[in-house]
Amino acid sequence: MAEFKIVVADPETGETFQREVDGQDANRFLGREIGDEVDGDPVGLAGFTLEITGGSDETGRPMRTDVSGTRLKELLLDGGVGFKPSRGGERKRITVRGREIADDVAQVNVSVVDGDGSVADALGEGDADEE
C-alpha cells in the first residue's frame, strides 16, 4: 500500500507544510507526473488545486521531468535538480528517478495553484491560537 509524505508549498506566503497520506488518499497520487494538477482533498485542502512540482524516493534520489516513467536512470549533470556544481564546468553522474509517482516515491512536493482562503487556516495551522 502506498504511503507518501506530501510537502505543500504556499507560494503567496512562502510557507511549507508537511502531511503524511496513506491508503486511498495516497492512491490518488499514484500514476501522476510532475506538472499534473490534483485536488487538495487528500491532504486536507478541500477546495484547493495543487500542482506536483517534484519529489524523491526513499533513498533521497530526486525526481526529474526529463526522465520518463518511474525508472532509475544515471545522468551526467552539469547542474539542475539533483546536482549543484561547486565550480564552473563541473559535471557528475547522478542517479535520478523518473517523473511518474509510484510506490518507490517517499516524498511528493506540491504547490498551491488555486483556492480560496489561507492554506495555513485550511490545514489548521493558522495563528488563531497564538496571543
pLDDT tens digits, one per residue of 14-34 = 999 999 999 999 999 999 999
Distance in angstroms (rounded) separating the CA atoms of residues 78 and 110: 25
Domain range for 15 is: 3-129
Residue 32, H or E segment: none
Model's pTM, two decimal places? 0.88
pLDDT in tens, 66-116: 999 999 999 999 999 889 999 999 999 999 999 999 999 999 999 999 988
Q: In whole angstroms, what separates CA 57 from the centre of its chain?
A: 11
Residue 129, pLDDT above cutoff 50? no
Please state, as a whole number, how many other Cβ atoms lie within 10 Å of the Cβ of residue 38. 20
Residue 5, H or E segment: strand 3-10
Q: Find cell 487538495 and name the residue.
A: 40
Tell me, what's the pLDDT at 118? 86
CB-count exposure of residue 13 (10 Å: 0-12, 13-18, 19+)? exposed
Q: How many domains does the chain have?
A: 1
Stronger pLDDT, 118 or 76, i.e. the higher one: 76
Q: HSE-up of 6 (CA within 13 Å, CB side)?
A: 30
